[in-house]
Amino acid sequence: MYVKQISVFIENAPGKLADFTRILGEKGIDLLSLSIADTTSFGILRGIVADWEKASKLIEEAGYTVCLTDVLAVEVPDRPGGLAGILTMLSEKGIEIEYLYSFVRNKSDKALIVFRVPDTDKAQAILSEHRVRCLSQEEIASF
């Protein structure tokens, strides 16, 4: 049960991020989660949207390049040590985390965190063994 993440290359210059987010606003695209990896000259904005097909089409039409990646949207117990427990499960089986970030919005009482791992299938199998739930794109879309 994957979720599609969109990532967009954005130059690190004044106003560039504002330009991009304004386009999202004009096109009615809502970011359910968001993170930015930045360097001095550029950044990569990553996020989850309800309808990634429509969003990536609209973003590309606006002149940006979209990269799609399968990520896991993991329900993490919202208490001290909740995230640590999940990371330990994964690291014990040799799964490395490329990056993670949390959702902006959530319906449940659990924290919802995006995991990007090299082997999504394996990570998901480990998590389900431990009864940790990963949300599907459909569930996300209903937020």
- Nearer of residues 4 and 133 to another protein, judged by Cβ: 4
Which of 52, 51, 92, 45 has the alpha carbon at shortest distance from 68? 52
Q: How far apart are CA 96 and CA 69, in angstroms?
A: 16
Smaller CB separation from another protein, 1 or 36: 36
Q: In the complex, what is the shortest distance from the CB of residue 129 to another protein, in angstroms, rounded to a whole number? A: 27
Decide if residue 63 touches another protein (CB under 8 A).
yes
Q: Specify the residue, 37 or 84, whose C-beta has the smaller distance to another protein.
A: 37
For residues 78 and 8, give the distance between their C-alpha atoms in angstroms, rounded to a whole number.
29
Distance CA 30, CA 52 (A): 10
Element (H, E) at 22: helix 16-27
Smallest distance, another protein to C-beta of residue 21, A: 15
Q: Which of 34, 44, 104, 111 binds another protein (CB under 8 A)?
A: 44
Site for another protein in 69-128 (CB under 8 A): 69, 98-99, 116
Identify the burial level of 55 via C-beta atoms within 10 angstroms of its C-beta, where 0-12 means exposed, 13-18 middle and 19 or more buried: buried
**What residues make contact with another protein under the rule CB under 8 A?**
5, 7, 9-11, 37-39, 41-44, 46, 63-65, 67, 69, 98-99, 116
